[in-house]
């Protein structure tokens, strides 16, 4: 079967519109409709019903939508395994990375990888660490670069690449610092943290609990860079990696009391990495 038929079907199913799916795939609508019709001929039944300007999946369409990703993944993996038999580093490599790693740590390696392995079609998803973790577990991503969770899943290999010191900070003129012992007053001032149920949030809360710090009002922001900007506007205090701490931010208390944040590579233990993925892993272990 032409895999483009399945990919076209999945695009229509996810968007719910032939017109919008055609635009996304850069096809004419008649060309897209022809693909869907051909796929329906192969499976022997309709996959979509029209409802106004939208389409919804039939029962057969829902079944195909559930199984198509695994079918495509199996085909892609087989083709990649065949390419890897030659020993060449080529083909597609789909990875995930947290925004922080992608912005501050990965660029040191990325240019070198692309220059060294020009035959690799590298695709990078910038996503939260916990989502990347789930997508590697599901097989949607071959590997990911992220903040490690407090408890590692035994189905995944975890390879440590980076460790960063954390620091408790606020604006140098923030009223919190006017107290004789600011550490004892933290609960009376807003703390800005990553969203709940994220790996960085779990790490930060564990750090504060270890120090005996009780949180008062908590504000959230998705990215550490944004949190740093908010704290620089005197909106509260927070924990930040050392590289994000610069004037007008200053330390609260003794940063030596805090441990480090561990980040690195994860991939499934039950799957041999492609040549392209292994080459990236090997590169990431080289000092920069």
Per-residue pLDDT at 80:
61
Residue 102 near residue 124 (C-beta atoms within 8 A): yes
Average pLDDT, rounded, for the chain: 90
Interatomic CA distance for residues 245 and 239, integer angstroms: 10
Per-residue pLDDT at 79:
72
Per-residue pLDDT at 251:
94
Per-residue pLDDT at 241:
93
pTM for the model stands at 0.72
Per-residue pLDDT at 86:
66
CATH number of the CATH domain containing 17: 1.10.10.10
| One domain, residues 265 and 139 | yes
**Domains contained in the chain, number:** 2
Residue 77 has pLDDT above 80, yes or no: no
Per-residue pLDDT at 287:
81
| One domain, residues 52 and 179 | no
- The residue length of the chain stands at 288
| One domain, residues 36 and 60 | yes
Residue 81, domain member (yes or no): no
| One domain, residues 149 and 67 | no
Per-residue pLDDT at 267:
95
Per-residue pLDDT at 4:
85
Query: Which residue, 24, 45, 75, sits at the end of a domain?
Result: 75
Residue 234, domain member (yes or no): yes
51-54, long-range: CB within 8 Å, 24+ apart, which pairs?
Answer: 53/17, 53/19, 54/16, 54/17
| One domain, residues 238 and 100 | yes
**Average of per-residue pLDDT across 52-81:** 81
**Average of per-residue pLDDT across 73-79:** 72
Residue (of 105, 101, 133) closest to 223 by Cα position: 101
Per-residue pLDDT at 109:
95
Structural domain of residue 245, as residue ranges?
Answer: 86-288
| One domain, residues 278 and 180 | yes
| One domain, residues 111 and 230 | yes
Residue of higher predicted confidence among 10 and 114: 114
Give residues with Cβ within 8 angstroms of 37, minimum separation 6.
none
- Cβ neighbours of 276 (radius 10 Å): 25
| One domain, residues 71 and 133 | no
| One domain, residues 46 and 108 | no
Interatomic CA distance for residues 26 and 24, integer angstroms: 6
Give residues with Cβ within 8 angstroms of 148, minimum separation 6.
158, 160, 199, 262, 263, 264, 266
**Average of per-residue pLDDT across 69-81:** 73
| One domain, residues 40 and 131 | no
Residue 283, domain member (yes or no): yes
Query: Which residue, 27, 48, 75, sits at the end of a domain?
Result: 75
Query: Which residue, 40, 75, 110, sits at the end of a domain?
Result: 75
Residue 187, domain member (yes or no): yes
Interatomic CA distance for residues 48 and 55, integer angstroms: 6
- Give the chain's end-to-end CA distance (angstroms, integer): 45
Residue 100, domain member (yes or no): yes
């Amino acid at each position: 079967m032409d895999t483009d038929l399945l990919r076209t079907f999945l695009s229509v199913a996810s968007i719910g519109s032939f017109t919008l799916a055609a635009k996304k795939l850069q096809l004419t609508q008649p060309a897209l409709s022809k693909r869907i019709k051909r796929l329906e001929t192969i499976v022997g039944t309709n996959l979509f019903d029209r409802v106004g300007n939208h389409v919804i999946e039939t029962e057969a369409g829902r079944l195909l939508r559930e199984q198509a990703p695994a079918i495509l993944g199996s085909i892609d993996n087989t083709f990649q395994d065949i390419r890897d038999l030659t020993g060449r580093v080529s083909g597609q490599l789909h990875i995930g990375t947290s925004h922080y790693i992608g912005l501050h740590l990965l660029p040191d390696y990325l240019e070198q990888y692309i220059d060294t392995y020009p035959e690799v079609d590298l695709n990078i998803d910038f996503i939260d660490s916990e989502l990347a973790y789930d997508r590697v577990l599901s097989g949607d991503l071959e590997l990911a670069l992220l903040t490690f969770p407090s408890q590692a899943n035994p189905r995944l290999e975890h390879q440590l690449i980076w460790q960063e010191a954390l620091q408790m900070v606020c604006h140098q003129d923030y009223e919190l610092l006017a107290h004789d012992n600011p550490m004892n007053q933290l609960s009376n001032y807003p703390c800005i943290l990553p969203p709940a149920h994220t790996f960085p949030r779990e790490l930060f809360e564990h750090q504060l609990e270890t120090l005996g710090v009780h949180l008062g009002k908590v504000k959230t922001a998705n990215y550490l860079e944004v949190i740093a900007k908010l704290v620089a506007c005197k909106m509260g205090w927070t924990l930040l990696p050392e590289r994000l701490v610069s004037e007008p931010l200053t330390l609260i208390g003794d940063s030596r009391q805090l441990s480090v944040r561990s980040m690195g590579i994860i991939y499934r233990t039950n799957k041999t990495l492609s040549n392209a993925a292994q080459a990236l892993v090997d590169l990431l272990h080289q000092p920069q």
